[in-house]
Structure 1
Amino acid sequence: MLLGLAPRFLTGVTAPPAPIPARDGTPASSLLSVEQVVIGSRQPNDACDVDVLTLAWIVGRLDGHMDRRTMLLIAAGLTAEGAASLANPWERLTLALSGTRADQEDTVERLEARTIGFHRLEYELPAGALYQGLTSHLNELSALLHSAPERFRKRLAVTAGEAATLASWLAWDLKRPAQSAAFDRVSALAAKESEHPIIQACTHAYHSYALEGRPALEAVQRAQQFLPAQGEDATRAWLLCLEAEHLASLGDRQAAERLRQPEEAFDRARPHRERAWTRFLDAGRMAAFQLSVHVRLGDERQVTAAGQQALSSIDGDGDHKRLAVIYADIAQAQLQIGDIPTGITYVRRALDAAQRTESTWGLHHLGNVEKALASQRDPAARELLGDLISTRRALGSSPA
């Protein structure tokens, strides 16, 4: 019922089912903020912590759009103890791989689904809420690769590579550059073992987010070298969008023309069927990339149209990391044209969205509006600038 897969009221049932309980027994529907249950302050050894591995598997098996509140409600009902029947420790997975072919296939599919789930959860949850579970997932994959039948080794290596690229990104977000570099090495080994070099394309694309200017553009161009001549169009569209974005940051007017190429690739793409990391790419993300390029080029006419398109794609309870970036770009555009009140409104929205997910990426994007706010004498702008600077300091500066 919660997922929309069953009717709200069942035939012959006089009373609605009991609501999903929270950790303290309070119905989840009555909580002021389910998010506090999932990603709020918890003791490291809390036995009632959310089972992130099982949550990732469920989200990956569903592999479709799930609004933020639904995902958090599911998580609120998944504790490490209550989800034991769904969870699969690596010992159990090892036994499964030594069983029948059906058991082996099911085990590999479970790990593939879990990797997809982690990539989907990254859109909404802070890096700190996922990192430990993702590293446990990678440890399981590493152990299984040594004992897996030969026919499953490439699939497991691909899955390990897709998980390692995300782990590297999360480690960067958590200001752990050494661990990020270690996971980069894992993804490179997985790309070689699986004969899927495109895993390296994802690694370099993530690197570009941590860089600025010419180094960021060069990272994207290195990523493009790992693309095949044909196919993998979702990754191709993503990389072409990033290239256009970085060209625009350098003031290259060709950036606007380059936007046609990712649009053509996106028309051919199947983001939900290509790679674990391509699930994020949809029409809304493409609109957000267009907005970002036009903002950086200072094209006010195009910014208005792209901004409206990007805003129309926003789900009221959707991807808050994307919201932070879209709102930051709109804020920057409004401040550039002198609409200070509207600009302040969108900076505040962007900051709120970035704080919800503790997103270094979102705060990094907000750095582009700090100078514009610093030049304002408006008290509201000065106050907002102080809030922005204090938030960035609290979360720490990027290791880049």
Structure 2
Amino acid sequence: RFEEAMDCLIKAIEIKLSLGKKADLCNSYFNLSEVLISAERYDEVPAIFNKTEPLVKEIEDPAGSVEFDFLKAQYYMGTGSYAKALEKIESYIEYQKESGSMSKVPGALRNKIRIHEELGEEGLALETYRELDLLSQRTYKETCSAMAAELAASFRFQQKMHEIQLLSNQNLELQEAKATIEKQYEELLEIDSKLKKANELLEKQAEIDPLTGLLNQKKMYPIIEREINRATRYGTPLSMIMIDLDNFKNVNDTYGHLQGDILLKNVAGIIRSSLRKVDFVFRYGGEEFLVLLPSSDLQMASSTADRLRDELAKTTYPKVTMSAGVSSWSGEDATHFIQKTDHLLYAAKGKGKNRVEFQKGS
């Protein structure tokens, strides 16, 4: 309910202006800026920043100045000025670390990750993920230590520990039982750790086609839906290529299924190495592959498909050609986007194979 929020904030600003409450007025401007950014009304934000800037300088509050810079970072992110946003976020993180306000750092790190992902900087995004993970672990350990210290300070806890110590000293069997329990607990922790790793591996394997190493259909739909949302949010193009190897059954019949599997694996490698890092390729089923091209219009996608067709014809053994359908997203959901591209593939097959059929009128 952005409009109601802005009405309330504007009234609050009028009252604080009349009373000369500069520090409180600064906070209201902060809040109004946040609402405008959340509502994606970016063209109205600079005017509020211009009113806020002199107040921040006049109040001379370092924390308030840093928070204002973080607001600017959010504005720059929303308007696509990622370099400026990163500069402000880095300064914000450094200040919070120096001041000991570690609880504010994770949110800023998540914004850094988002920027790196938007820029396709997977390495920097992964590095920031690791920093966030280490910070979370450290915070967790510090919280546990604080809770343990508080518990240790409790008289009742000290009394219970004293009673346990007395019983342990009096009864050797209890000491041995305690040692056995601790050993078993350590073994359980080790087993639990192995189970978690095994489950993570199984979950990852469930999303990977075992023959080609490509992502499978289970992973395909969430990624397509995510990229559709991204294209909607930023107004960027999104295209898809559906590929089918021509007469692949002849390969299996002539050279055997083992050679057919090797060919599929080689084709997957050729497709993957011919695409950008930001592109996705999935094994759709059998000898069919689906390629998703973020920030690519129909012309770029068609050129990519033609390049793949030429590359496969030149480098595969046994020789194999491909037919492809190419389309650009135009507002439909993931299922209809795939169906639209699949129909173009079938049109290419029907027109003699070894060709690319693309969406007309786009």
TM-score (norm 2): 0.39
Give the number of the structure whose residues are more often strand, by fraction.
2
Higher RCO, Cα 8 Å, sep 6+ = 1
